[in-house]
């Protein structure tokens, strides 16, 4: 059986989550590997969520937020951009593949782009194979 | 010619006595005698007569900025600061933990500080490689000059060049040694949260017993919380009983922050810490 990755998606309520809804209502097809959690803003994402997700067995983490300048709270995603950039560098230096973590800006009207990003990211994580470095073995 | 440790010690004593006598400050944070000469300890002088107990020698590595946040706001404090320690003070001022006007900074220009465990000289390998305080009110001694200028990030090259799997194994081996004594957290001037995330029960961010996954969570998150704030004093690594080279990771994060956001931590009072700040024109490239 081919490897089906488990991917955690964290989407902001106002843009990416609504974009995902749009992708759904327009009946776009995309892989089902993504489990989406909705947060109110991309700056709500505590970087420990991402470390924890990898520990609990996620093979990849995809964060979606509003395009810079479009944040519902004006500046949330601008803080998130800096913070998550640091998260990525930390993941990289710790030795996990940084490609397993991605941040994308997807607006509420970009249902197509949502489907594309999910498809592409799922494919990328599939190529990398199962994530074992952080995963807690029980 | 830089001043000797003895000269600095004498000046520190005189200055501390003067400040306490005139009542300009209620405490002086300095160094005092430990169980032997190689292990001096932080010392808090409250009375003019206490000033005689102050010592300063090459093993006085502790970052005394650590103790500033313990006092109620508005307490007048004099604190002896070496180079990195003064950066810690600046960073604490930026974070509004202390006020500049409440502090009197006694600058200690010192080259040749030694690690009391190994006896090695502490330089840019394990710290920021500065020898003169960045900010001070009185400088107790001559400025240090003539040390070769080396980037504190040079030491990273060999780790950055490692293959990622090898680097993971390297860190796993190091983090697995951790006994979760939290000396790193206690020694760090920037670790003032109460409670620390790792001590919380709800949500429980990571295992609290010294197991490898809990250790990984603790350390990675701690590195993240210190991003753009760590001033590279190296105290965490010197405090660690099992010698985990925490400074390497902190340096790496500091280097990335400096490259991405163009600002080093603890250099100017008017800066804002990089992660509570943003620029509209930050590039999306930083996320790649
Ligand atoms: S993390 Fe370590 S090097 Fe950085 S400020 Fe804290 S004690 Fe100093
Ligand atoms: S000082 Fe060392 S052993 Fe203690 S908690 Fe920190 S890293 Fe672990």
Hey, which residues 169-208 in chain B have their CB within 8 Å of chain A? 169-172, 197, 205-206
Give me the residue label for tokens 């500033």. Answer: B68
Task: Write out chain B residues lying below 8 Å of A89, CB-based.
Answer: 252-253, 256
CB spacing of A95 vs B249 below 8 angstroms: no
Q: Whose CA is nearest to atom 7 of ligand 2?
A: B178
A99 secondary structure, DSSP code:
G
How far apart, in Å, do the first and last CA atoms of chain B sit? 47
Return the pLDDT at A45.
Answer: 97
Confidence of residue A1 (pLDDT cuts 50, 70, 90): low
Instruction: Outline where DSSP puts E strands in chain B.
Output: 27-32, 41-45, 77-81, 103-107, 138-139
CA of B238 to the centre of ligand 1 (A): 10
Domains of chain A listed by start with CATH number: 7-128 (3.40.50.960)
Q: What is the spatial distance between Cα A17 and Cα A37, in angstroms, rounded to a whole number?
A: 9
B228 lines ligand 1 (CB under 6 A): no
Find the mean pLDDT for residues A3-30. 96
User: What is the model's pTM?
Assistant: 0.95
* pLDDT value at residue B3: 84
Boundaries of every domain in chain B: 5-139, 154-283
Contact with chain A for residue B47, Cβ under 8 A:
no
- Whether the per-residue pLDDT at B271 is higher than 60: the answer is yes
Residue-level pLDDT at B147: 82
Give me the mean pLDDT over the B27-53 stretch: 95
A47 in contact with B, Cβ within 8 Å: yes
Q: Calculate ∠ Cα A24-A25-A28, nearest 5°.
A: 50
Distance CA B97, CA B64 (A): 15
Contact between A89 and A124 (Cβ < 8 Å): no
Q: What is the pLDDT of residues A60-98, one digit of tens each?
A: 999 999 999 999 999 999 999 999 999 999 999 999 999
Tell me the mean pLDDT in the region B227-244.
96
Measured between alpha carbons, how far is B264 from A47 in angstroms, rounded to an integer?
22
> Mean of the pLDDT values across residues A4-33?
96
Cβ–Cβ < 8 Å for B230, B84: no
Q: Which ligand is nearest to the CA of B178?
A: 2
B254: enclosing H helix or E strand:
helix B246-261
How confident is the model over B175-195, as pLDDT tens digits? 999 999 999 999 999 999 999
Tell me how far apart the alpha carbons of residues B16 and B106 are, in angstroms, rounded to a whole number: 9
User: DSSP character for B114?
Assistant: B
Q: Which residues are within 8 A (CB) of B12 and not within 5 positions of it... i.e. 6 or more apart?
A: B30, B54, B56, B80, B106, B108, B140
B244 in contact with ligand 2, CB cutoff 6 A: yes
Beta bridge partners of A12: A39
CB spacing of A79 vs B275 below 8 angstroms: yes
CA separation for the pair B180, B168 (Å, rounded): 20
- pLDDT at res. B25: 96
């Amino acid at each position: 059986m081919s490897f089906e990755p488990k991917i955690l998606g964290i989407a902001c309520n106002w843009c990416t989550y609504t974009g995902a809804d749009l992708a759904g209502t327009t009946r776009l097809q995309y892989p089902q590997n993504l489990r989406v959690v909705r947060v109110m803003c991309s700056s709500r994402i505590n970087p420990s969520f991402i470390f924890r997700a990898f520990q609990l067995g996620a093979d990849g983490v995809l964060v979606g937020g509003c395009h810079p300048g479009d944040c519902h709270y004006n500046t949330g995603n601008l803080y998130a951009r800096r913070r998550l950039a640091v998260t990525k560098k930390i993941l990289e230096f710790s030795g996990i593949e940084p490609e397993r973590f991605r941040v994308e800006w997807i607006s509420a009207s970009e249902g197509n782009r949502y489907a594309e990003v999910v498809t592409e990211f799922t494919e990328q994580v599939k190529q990398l194979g199962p994530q074992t470095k952080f995963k807690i073995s029980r | 010619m830089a001043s000797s440790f003895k000269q600095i010690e004498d000046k520190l004593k005189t200055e501390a006595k003067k400040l306490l006598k005139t009542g300009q400050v209620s405490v002086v944070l300095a160094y005092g005698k430990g169980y032997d000469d190689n292990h001096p300890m932080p010392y808090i002088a409250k009375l003019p007569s206490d000033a005689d107990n102050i010592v300063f020698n090459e093993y006085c590595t502790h970052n005394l900025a650590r103790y500033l946040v313990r006092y109620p706001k508005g307490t007048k404090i004099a604190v002896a600061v070496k180079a990195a320690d003064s950066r810690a003070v600046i960073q604490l001022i930026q974070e509004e933990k202390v006020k500049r006007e409440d502090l009197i900074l006694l600058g200690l220009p010192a080259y040749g500080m030694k690690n009391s465990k190994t006896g090695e000289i502490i330089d840019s390998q394990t710290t920021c490689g500065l020898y003169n305080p960045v900010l001070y009110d009185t400088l107790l001694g001559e400025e240090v000059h003539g040390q070769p200028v080396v980037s504190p990030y040079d030491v990273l090259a060999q780790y950055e060049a490692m293959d990622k799997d090898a680097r993971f194994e390297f860190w796993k081996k190091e983090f697995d040694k951790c006994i979760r004594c939290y000396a790193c957290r206690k020694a760090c001037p920037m670790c003032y949260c109460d409670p620390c995330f790792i001590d919380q029960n709800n949500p429980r961010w990571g295992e609290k017993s010294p197991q490898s996954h809990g250790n990984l969570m603790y350390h990675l998150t701690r590195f993240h919380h210190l991003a753009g704030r760590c001033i590279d004093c190296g105290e965490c690594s010197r405090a660690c009983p099992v010698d985990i080279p925490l400074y390497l990771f902190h340096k790496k994060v500091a280097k990335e922050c400096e490259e991405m956001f163009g600002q080093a931590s603890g250099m100017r009072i008017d800066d804002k810490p990089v992660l509570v700040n943003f620029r509209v024109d930050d590039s999306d490239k930083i996320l790649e």
